[in-house]
Structure 1
Amino acid sequence: MELFPPIPLAEWRDCKETLHRFEQIVGKIRLAAGVRRNHWWNVPFHITGCGITTRPTGRADGNPFTIDFDFVRHQLVAASLDGTEVSFPLYGRSVASFRRATLDALTALGVQVNIPVPHPFDLPDASRPFAEDTEHAAYDPVQANRYWQVLSQVALLLEEFAADFSGKASPVHHFWHTFDIAYTRFSGRHTEQPAEADPVTREAYSREVISFGFWFGDDTFPEPAFYSYTAPEPPGLTEEPLVPEAARWVERNGSHLAVLRYDDARATPDPRATVLAFYDSAYRAGAERADWDVAGLACPGGITDQHLAARPA
């Protein structure tokens, strides 16, 4: 199978917009039913052999359940730990229909949960409740399967990159609010957040981080890309070199992202080595400018020869 198959945003935008809202519904259920973890690690989805999952959620002494998106059979599957399972097709549904079917499936499992803030987060129709959205109904099985394939490949690449670091780090996980997949490294140092910071930001960035990920594109950056950022951003970060030459620093929301376009990575002779080298150059840029203990946080044996060879001098 091709590494990084083409997935131009323009070709699957309608499906993506529908699927994004489906995932926000399930993600909000996960948020309401689960136990909070540091940096909100309880919120994202995780990759499975046929889709993405909430993992078991709820309380151990209650009625734990999972909700999985199956992008091979194109079903939503809700299951409780006693083996009871309810599923329904993903295609042919509006957001409103999906919401109703999901809540009905949970009711059949004996799970009662309310969706907190039952409308999209940070999307253009954020004021419209999910229950009233009959506009987004463009789930396409071929495109959804391609999305999962790309997610899976990027997840494995991030797992490989994670092997080079021995400090505190996040899992590789898929965020339903921003529709990206990411992995984050921590220096161990606390950071001060401004008084006006919201609770999500205050907890997510309570420590120094360098994050690495991939997104599928949106209205502000309408193409898929690999990215990295350092928070808080140290002075002079954008003066550091990135590899390959196609990678660049991009200003976004008052700070900077290291960005490598997906198609630029695909066009190289070895896309895997290219992306690993890109992540490593972005890490070294942020870690050295922020005075991280790069040597002390390294995990010997985690870097391939190709990865080392592609690093900037």
Structure 2
Amino acid sequence: MDLFPALPRESWAATKETLHRFLQIVGKVRLAASVRRNHWWNVPFHLTGSGITTRPTGPLADGTVFSVDFDFAAHRLRVLNLDGRQASFPLMGLSVAGFYRAFTGTLSHLGIGILPEHPYPFDLPDAARPFAEDNEHAAYDPAAVTRYWTILTQVMLVLEKYAAGYSGKTSPVHHFWHTFDIAVTRFSDRNVAQAPSVDPVTREAYSREVISSGFWFGDDRSYPEPAFYSYTAPEPDGLARQPLEPATAQWTQNNGSHLALLPYDDVRTAPDARAEILRFYDSAFVAGAHLAGWPTDRLCPGGVTDPQVRDASKAP
């Protein structure tokens, strides 16, 4: 099995655009029904053994608790109520409008009284068109979705290992439905003053200093092809002059700041792709943390903070 398969954006562009909107529809229900967490940690999807999940969501006003799972092995969407009832439908053959009807109808059938508060795409070109009227996006190539799911799983495992190396505040590994990327974020303890004009989503996400690392599948704005990335916010002076590893990694400008980028195709066939990706994340973190003056005592290689275990591992 090719654990890091090729997935150029043009090879599944139509499917990606459809699937992205499917995820946004379900994600907006998660947003409406979940308990708010700092930095919006309640909103993204988490991975399962066969796809992605909202996790148990609620309780609603009537006590209902439910979860929604994308099963990318069977290519179905499954809604499960805590009382044991469940229903599912296939992902193939649906437009975005058809998916919206099937999903909201399934929620109603199971007695789950929740709908997206704003049933429109977020930050996409057709943001003014309701999901219920989108019959344009209707592609679903199961082979491409399987490759997407395979990559997502492998990147998640790399990010879990990377996350284990820091003992400070660290987010879970999230799959963000609004930007269609997967990431983990490390935090310092310092607050970041935000102007009153900054939108509330950004104010909450960046209320502390962060170094975020992740992977996206390519878009028209940040980078056109799949790539691993990292950024530091607020960005310290001189960040883009710091070295990155491996040699194919680079700093690139993005909306007035800089992203560290490692193209997916430059590393996926390496003899030890995971090690190369971790080198990239570590080098980008060191660059940002050093310039921003983060504490130096929070790195914990191997996820070990127990001093007896740590010191024993250093013994000759």
Please give the root-mean-square deviation of Cα atoms over the aligned residues, in Å: 1.2
Alignment of 1:198-217 (within 5 A): 198-217=199-218
Identity, % of aligned positions: 65
Alignment of 1:176-195 (within 5 A): 176-195=177-196
Number of the residue aligned with 1:236: 238
Quote the offset at 1:300 in angstroms: 4.0
Q: Structure 1 residue 284 and structure 2 residue 282: aligned?
A: no
Alignment of 1:64-213 (within 5 A): 64-213=65-214
Rounded Cα–Cα distance in structure 2 between residues aligned with 1:238 and 1:80: 49
Is the 2:4–2:269 Cα contact (8 Å) retained in structure 1?
A: no
Q: Which amino acid aligns with 1:62?
A: G
Q: Give the 3-state SS of the residue equivalent to 1:79 in structure 2.
A: strand
Q: 1:280 to 1:106 in 2, by over 3 A?
A: same
Q: Structure 1 residue 249 and structure 2 residue 251: aligned?
A: yes
Rounded Cα–Cα distance in structure 2 between residues aligned with 1:301 and 1:121: 38
Quote the offset at 1:145 in angstroms: 1.3
Rounded Cα–Cα distance in structure 1 between residues aligned with 2:71 and 2:91: 9
Is the 1:8–1:224 Cα contact (8 Å) retained in structure 2?
A: yes
Is the 2:3–2:150 Cα contact (8 Å) retained in structure 1?
A: no
Q: Give the 3-state SS of the residue equivalent to 1:297 in structure 2.
A: coil
Deviations 1:89-117 (A, max 9, x none): 00000000100100111111111112111
Rounded Cα–Cα distance in structure 2 between residues aligned with 1:52 and 1:125: 25
| Residue 261 (structure 2) aligned to one of 256, 259, 266 | 259
Rounded Cα–Cα distance in structure 1 between residues aligned with 2:10 and 2:79: 31
Q: Give the 3-state SS of the residue equivalent to 1:151 in structure 2.
A: helix
The TM-score normalised by the length of structure 2 is 0.94
Rounded Cα–Cα distance in structure 1 between residues aligned with 2:260 and 2:301: 25
Deviations 1:231-270 (A, max 9, x none): 0000111111000110000100111000000001124332
Which range moved further: 106-115 or 272-281? 106-115
Q: Which amino acid aligns with 2:244?
A: L
The TM-score normalised by the length of structure 1 is 0.94
Rounded Cα–Cα distance in structure 2 between residues aligned with 1:266 and 1:73: 26
Q: Which amino acid aligns with 1:2?
A: D
Is the 1:161–1:302 Cα contact (8 Å) retained in structure 2?
A: no
Rounded Cα–Cα distance in structure 2 between residues aligned with 1:114 and 1:162: 34
Is the 1:24–1:120 Cα contact (8 Å) retained in structure 2?
A: yes
Rounded Cα–Cα distance in structure 1 between residues aligned with 2:8 and 2:109: 38
Rounded Cα–Cα distance in structure 1 between residues aligned with 2:176 and 2:32: 15
Q: Which amino acid aligns with 1:147?
A: Y
Q: Which amino acid aligns with 2:256?
A: G
Rounded Cα–Cα distance in structure 2 between residues aligned with 1:161 and 1:103: 37
Q: Give the 3-state SS of the residue equivalent to 1:201 in structure 2.
A: helix
Is the 1:27–1:43 Cα contact (8 Å) retained in structure 2?
A: yes
Q: Which amino acid aligns with 2:39?
A: H
Number of the residue aligned with 1:8: 8
Quote the offset at 1:298 in angstroms: 1.3
Number of the residue aligned with 2:312: none
Q: Which amino acid aligns with 1:297?
A: R
